[in-house]
């Protein structure tokens, strides 16, 4: 695909100016949603802890969005054939915005399970369709860079959320009102810049949903492994740090380093994937994930060792998500790409669901280093898959 042979997103090929407007619309939309999530996740956890909710119930409640994602994603391509992308996204934004004050006005933990599940359905729609939209806008020369920009802006939104929470506080209705307003503001760029430019799905995918695991195992399994790795880092690595003798503040600091790597290295990795075989990049990212995980016990006691290690580890491992999405855009088009994106997000959510329980059991069996065994085992298995695909899969032509 060249600059003059543009992806069909609307009724006619888009001009370069329309492509830029379309990209601004979808990235601005998802970044604002990311900021809202970055506020709401710690806010809800703090409220549950403040109200004496047991940790097991907090964990189950926190898993509701991942469960919603797992159940919702197979149906999104069919929904997009019936509902245009912009109204679909606006509906998801409205549901998510309504959910925020609902947490405050219905302070019952069992109702929160339902509210959080419904919010998870809406967020799933936002993320799957936005990633599909960005993939449709890209061509094979800039796909990695565009998805890297998308991921970086989204990570910045997540990272800025806790800062906003610090400013507005955690008491009363104010933080929920601010989050709802943020999420509603995501509709503005869609209406101003995206109208008439969003992707349309009119045909059925030629692949069944589950066959993407066979058709593109390196890409789809990248989502699973990164989902498990990221969730384990944010949920279990601080616990591991405390158990090996670090202070809680020191152990939590590793998350900031991991997130900083996420933000700063996605675009360079995406640009690299535009210039070489993307399966090689996936193999590199998975290998760093394996080596970085195995190195954790040896670097955690020295800030001079773990600071650069966690930064590089976080920045490279997230490449599995970025490049996995990019590889799907290289392989599939139209309705098949929408279904492939949905399969990828479902695999990510499945990894997020099974990763922490698997790591928790491993830590109970070998305290605390079972976490390292669990995380390195997943990365090691994926290294074998990525290496096999790199050596055996046909090479996509470069333009």
Query: pTM of this prediction?
Result: 0.79
Task: Report cis status (omega within 30 of 0) of the bond before 368.
Answer: yes
DSSP single-letter state for residue 193: I
The two three-digit tokens of residue 184, written as one number:
């509603």
Cβ-Cβ contacts under 8 Å for 363 (sequence gap 6 or more): 236, 239, 240, 243, 369, 370, 371, 374
Q: So what's the pLDDT on residue 331? A: 83
Opening angle at CA 328, ends 354 and 236, nearest 5: 25
pLDDT along the chain (399 residues), means of 10: 39 71 84 76 78 76 82 84 90 93 91 92 88 82 87 81 75 87 88 81 66 79 91 81 77 77 91 91 94 90 84 91 89 81 86 84 87 93 92 63
Q: So what's the pLDDT on residue 7? A: 40
Nearest-10 crossing angle of helices 370-392, 334-365: 150
Given the structure tokens 């503001």, which residue do they identify? 185
Where do the domains of the chain lie, and which CATH numbers do they carry?
Answer: 9-200 (1.20.1250.20), 207-392 (1.20.1250.20)
Q: So what's the pLDDT on residue 114? A: 95
Q: So what's the pLDDT on residue 285? A: 95
Round to whole Å and give the CA distance between 69 and 56: 21
Round to whole Å and give the CA distance between 357 and 378: 14
Q: So what's the pLDDT on residue 4? A: 35
Q: So what's the pLDDT on residue 224? A: 93
Cβ-Cβ contacts under 8 Å for 27 (sequence gap 6 or more): 134, 149, 150, 153
């Amino acid at each position: 695909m060249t600059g003059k042979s543009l992806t069909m997103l609307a009724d006619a090929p888009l001009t370069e100016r329309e492509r830029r407007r379309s990209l601004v619309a979808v990235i601005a939309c998802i970044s604002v949603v990311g900021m809202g999530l970055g506020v709401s996740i710690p806010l809800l956890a703090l409220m549950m802890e403040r109200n004496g909710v047991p940790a097991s119930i907090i964990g189950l409640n926190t898993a509701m969005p991942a469960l919603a994602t797992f159940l919702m994603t197979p149906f999104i391509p069919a929904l997009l054939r019936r509902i245009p992308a912009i109204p679909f996204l606006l509906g998801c934004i409205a549901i998510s915005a309504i959910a925020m004050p609902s947490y405050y006005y219905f302070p019952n933990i069992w109702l929160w399970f339902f509210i959080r599940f419904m919010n998870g359905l809406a967020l799933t729609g936002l993320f799957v369709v936005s990633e599909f939209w960005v993939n449709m806008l890209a061509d094979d020369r800039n796909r990695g860079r565009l998805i890297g920009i998308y991921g970086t802006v989204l990570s910045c939104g997540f990272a800025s959320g806790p800062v906003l929470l610090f400013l507005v506080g955690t008491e009363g209705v104010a933080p929920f009102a601010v989050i709802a307003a943020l999420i509603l503001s995501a509709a503005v760029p869609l209406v101003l810049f995206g109208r008439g430019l969003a992707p349309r799905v009119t045909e059925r995918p030629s692949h069944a949903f589950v066959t993407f695991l066979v058709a593109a195992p390196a890409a789809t399994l990248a989502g699973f492994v990164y989902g498990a790795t990221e969730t384990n880092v944010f949920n279990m690595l601080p616990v591991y740090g405390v158990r090996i003798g670090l202070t809680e503040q020191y152990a939590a600091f590793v998350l900031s380093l991991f997130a900083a790597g996420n933000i700063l290295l996605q675009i360079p990795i995406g640009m690299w994937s535009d210039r070489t075989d993307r399966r090689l990049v996936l193999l590199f990212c998975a290998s760093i994930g394996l080596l970085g995980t195995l190195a954790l016990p040896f670097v955690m006691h020295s800030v001079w060792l773990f600071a650069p290690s966690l930064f590089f580890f976080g920045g490279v491992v997230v490449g599995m998500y970025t490049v996995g999405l990019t590889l799907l855009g290289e392989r599939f088009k139209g309705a098949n790409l929408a279904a492939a994106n949905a399969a990828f997000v479902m695999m990510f959510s499945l990894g997020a669901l099974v990763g922490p329980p698997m790591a928790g059991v491993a830590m109970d069996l070998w305290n605390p280093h079972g976490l390292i065994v669990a995380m390195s085992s997943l990365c090691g298995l994926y290294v074998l898959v990525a290496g096999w695909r790199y050596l055996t899969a046909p090479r996509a032509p470069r333009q």
